[in-house]
Amino acid sequence: MKRALFFLLLLGFAFYIGKGYLDYAIQEKEETIPKKSTFSSSKIEKSSVSSLIGKSKAAMLHVLGKPDQKAPSAYGYDWYVFTNEKTKYLQVGVEKGKVVTVYAAGEDVPIKPYAIGESRKQLEQKLSFKREVTISQGLRYLSFKLSPEDQSVRPLVQLNDLYAILYFDKFTQKLSSIRYVTQAVLKKMHPYSYEFRGEKPSELKLTTAQQEAVDRGEEQQVLALTNIFRVQHGLRSLASDHATGEVALGHSLDMEQNHYFSHTSPTKGELSDRLQAGHVGYTYAGENIAANYIDGAAAVEGWINSKGHRENLLKKEFTKLGAGVYKKFYTQNFITPR
């Protein structure tokens, strides 16, 4: 499936359609997040982690302490990641010394008046999930068009001067995570199909070194969020495996460079072939792939909401994970070593 892009050139009006896509496989036969975090949700102002937006970097660090990871994003801000690897996970985006976005997962992160794990039915009584959310400035506008699927699993709502993307687990109908963004960040990310009049939203062009730094950071975030999800479901965390991660990265790079999306590489074969070539021994192995998501956190949420991917995420036999990100292509290789 290809990303579709349509422009209707009429009085400065345009329409864009884009969607991430997924696939998974299962077969039989490191740089890691630091050990401990100083992150304590009790230090956050009582209402919500959204209160961090607009604060200076120094003020944010004073509240949250030392981050477990710092990594650039593809949108001009740097991520500061805080986690206890079990029930608290927070990514704080800082641009030009100010907090501009916050992504939160884990049941112990405060997002009042909402809560991670809260039912969709309860949230529908507090919020209005609309098919269209528009940002206007004079005659110019940017209007996000949410598909029925978007409305179901990742609705967009305006909260005074902020916007929030709510990620729902469609299998439990509960809130899985939330992303708070400023208007400027929402425009840069443009995570939904949209119409616009005026200037088209643009994407930040990264150098090779910048893109590599973004990719390595997202790999760590994919691992951490996978483990948060597993722990929530009573499973042990997965250990990062360097050799398996190299195989995963090779597949993401191969898909991007050779313009395909499949578990079967035209030159490197199936997952079993690639693991063998990478000298990875296993008794069980599985693979999740995704493409065209705004970042690693969004890709993980996509996997959570797909039955086959979810089964890989929650397979109790798996003990190690290698994550490989190359631009907009994401690969997870799960293994149980011999």
The tens digit of pLDDT for each residue in 13-33 reads: 333 344 465 555 544 332 222
What pLDDT, on the 0 to 100 scale, is given for residue 180?
98
Low-confidence ranges of the chain (pLDDT < 50): 1-19, 26-42, 44-45
What pLDDT, on the 0 to 100 scale, is given for residue 6?
28
**Long-range contacts, 40-46 (Cβ 8 Å, 24+):** 40/64, 40/65, 41/88, 41/108, 41/109, 41/110, 44/110, 46/110, 46/112
- Give all domains of the chain, ordered by start, each with its CATH number: 49-197 (3.40.33.10), 208-337 (3.40.33.10)
Rounded Cα distance between 299 and 303, Å, is: 6
pTM score: 0.88
What pLDDT, on the 0 to 100 scale, is given for residue 20?
61
What pLDDT, on the 0 to 100 scale, is given for residue 29?
37
What pLDDT, on the 0 to 100 scale, is given for residue 47?
65
What pLDDT, on the 0 to 100 scale, is given for residue 203?
84
Question: Per the structure block, which two tokens stand in for 296?
Answer: 């690693």
CA angle, corner 334, sides to 333 and 336, nearest 5?
Answer: 140
Minimal CA–CA distance to 21: which of 218, 260, 265, 314? Answer: 260
Minimal CA–CA distance to 146: which of 130, 162, 159? Answer: 130
What pLDDT, on the 0 to 100 scale, is given for residue 46?
52
